[in-house]
Amino acid sequence: MSIEELIRRYEAGGGHLAKTSAEGLAVPPALHTVVLTCMDSRLDVFALFGLQMGEVHVLRNAGGVVTDDVIRSLTISQRKLQTREILLMQHAGCGLGTFTDEDFSEELANEVGMRPPWRTHAFRDPRVSVRRDMTQLRHDPFLLPGTRIRGFVVDIVTFDLEEVFVEAGAPSVVRTPALGTPEISSAAANG
């Protein structure tokens, strides 16, 4: 009964903590940025980028892939809440790398009698998927011209962050997490 466990934690102080975290914050994200990433439960976006509440929009789905609904959210985020940059991050060891779109559709069809109308966006190499999604974002007619887009693959074990570029032949750049005490203040870390 996990939902009841969540409600219990809300009552035990979660609700109060969330209220305190949101106090005084403006609705538009202070850093004018959207982070699009996977729903993987091991991925702490706020810790990874030293974020505080109120700074970015975080969009998450299976894979962190660009879907119609992601475009819907990005368009609203840009037009109504003044975001101008998109950080796209997918990851090695993603569940979407464990099957193919075709196999998954076939599996569902066998079980429920029809194929889903949507695609899974399964990928073998997250770099290829990030490149594909960056290209799609660059060409989307609803996103504002001049939107800055950068794409990354994070390793879910080492948390190395590899930047991926769309341009042919551009080498990717890998950053590794710093050892020791983080530079970001504990206030930022605790949000």
The residue (of 81 and 92) whose beta carbon lies closer to Zn ion is: 92
The residue (of 56 and 94) whose beta carbon lies closer to Zn ion is: 94
Q: How far is the CB of 47 from Zn ion (least distance, A)?
A: 17
The residue (of 62 and 188) whose beta carbon lies closer to Zn ion is: 62
Q: Does 38 bind Zn ion (CB under 5 A)?
A: yes
Rounded CA separation 28/20 (Å): 18
Decide if 83 contacts 54 (C-beta within 8 A).
Answer: no
The residue (of 61 and 147) whose beta carbon lies closer to Zn ion is: 61
The span of 39-47, 48-56, 98-106, 167-175 binding Zn ion (CB under 5 A) equals 39-47
Binding-site size for Zn ion (CB under 5 A) equals 3
Q: Does 40 bind Zn ion (CB under 5 A)?
A: yes
3-state secondary structure of 38: strand
Q: How far is the CB of 112 from Zn ion (least distance, A)?
A: 24
Rounded CA separation 131/9 (Å): 40
Rounded CA separation 191/49 (Å): 12
- For residue 81, give the H/E element and its range: helix 68-81
Rounded CA separation 129/94 (Å): 12
Rounded CA separation 94/63 (Å): 7
Q: How far is the CB of 144 from Zn ion (least distance, A)?
A: 28
The residue (of 57 and 91) whose beta carbon lies closer to Zn ion is: 91
Contact code string over 63-102 relative to Zn ion, x by CB under 5 A? -------------------------------x--------
Rounded CA separation 97/91 (Å): 10
User: Which residues of this chain interact with Zn ion, rule CB under 5 A?
Assistant: 38, 40, 94
